[in-house]
């Protein structure tokens, strides 16, 4: 079977904020248990081992160069949530189709339990704890989208 792999990346800090907000809202199937066990975003995000998902994408790597080589070898396309329309246009060209570029906002509705404020200091702490994800994200975004 012939297939192509593609992925979309998102700013790692924003991704963690989104994970927390979703799980702490009524649209999440287990939100009551979540808000009971994780009532505070900062305690949740700082209370577990670093959440670098990079290693799940391509496996264990020795350094950034090896990681990037594996990313390029594994994925035919890497898009970015922050460049959704441009990413969909590029993906469409790769696949030989016009893909719809209408962005569907799937914003989690704010509730008392998932409304959070993230200070610059906390953002810096999260970036430090998730250094590999942040570096991979920024390097690929710079290379592929010129940011």
How does pLDDT run across 35-76, given as a tens digit for each residue?
999 989 999 988 876 656 666 666 666 778 888 888 888 899
Residues of the chain with pLDDT > 90, as a percent, come to: 36
Number of domains in the chain: 1
Given a cut of 80, whether residue 87 has pLDDT beyond it is: yes
In a domain, 1, yes or no: no
Across the chain, mean pLDDT equals 85
pTM: 0.82
Q: How far is CA 124 from the centre of its chain?
A: 16
Q: Is residue 104 part of a domain?
A: yes
Tell whether 68 is covered by a domain: yes
Domain assignment present for residue 37? The answer is yes
Asked if residue 56 belongs to a domain, the reply is yes
98 belongs to a structural domain: yes
Q: Which residue has the higher pLDDT, 106 or 94?
A: 94
Confidence of residue 79 (pLDDT cuts 50, 70, 90): very high
């Amino acid at each position: 079977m012939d297939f192509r792999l593609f992925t979309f990346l998102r700013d790692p800090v924003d991704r963690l904020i989104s994970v927390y907000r979703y799980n702490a809202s009524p649209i999440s199937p287990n939100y009551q248990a979540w808000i009971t066990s994780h009532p505070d975003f900062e305690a949740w995000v700082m209370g577990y081992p670093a959440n670098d998902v990079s290693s799940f994408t391509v496996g264990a790597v020795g350094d950034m160069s090896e990681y990037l080589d594996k990313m390029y070898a594994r994925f035919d396309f890497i898009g970015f949530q922050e460049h959704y329309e441009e990413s969909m246009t590029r993906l469409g060209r790769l696949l030989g189709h016009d893909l719809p570029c209408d962005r569907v906002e799937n914003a989690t509705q704010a509730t008392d339990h998932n409304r959070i404020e993230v200070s610059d200091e906390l953002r810096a702490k999260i970036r430090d704890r998730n250094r590999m994800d942040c570096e991979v994200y920024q390097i690929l975004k710079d290379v592929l989208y010129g940011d």
